Amino acid sequence: MAYPGSNKKISFPKSVGYALAGIKFSFRERNMKIHGTAAVLVILAGIFFPISKTEWLWILLCIAGMFSLEMVNTAIEKTVDLVTGEYHPLAKAAKDLAAGAVLIYTVYSIIVGMVVFLPKLLEYFI
């Protein structure tokens, strides 16, 4: 891996370090903190209401997908902010599209959570 315009190769350990720095940076963002809190609550619910291995895979897919998509959204927002500090319709469109992708995945994740946990909640309370 090399940075654009550079012939210098980056070692794998350094690449991993940069990736971890990106993950750490992402948790400074409000929305990532919200997703992180939701992930912890869902994992605790999965422990309290025992769920199958397949259900765990769906839940973990939702969590990993949400974290990844939120990080891509943040990267797009930061890049747009770097390129232009002024209002531009294309800058707005880029940010709105990325936010829309996160919203779609959020709704999907909520539906998966309902499919997994709603029967267990009903069984627990009825």
* 96 assigned ligand-binding residue: yes
| pLDDT on residue 126 | 85
How far is 63 from 82, CA to CA, in rounded Å?
28
* 77 assigned ligand-binding residue: yes
* pTM exceeds 0.85: yes
Distance of CA 7 to the CA centre of its chain: 32
Write down the catalytic residue from 46, 59, 70, 71. 70
Known active-site residue 70: yes
* 124 assigned ligand-binding residue: no
Note the pLDDT tens digit of each residue in 25-74.
999 999 999 999 999 999 999 999 999 999 999 999 999 999 999 999 99
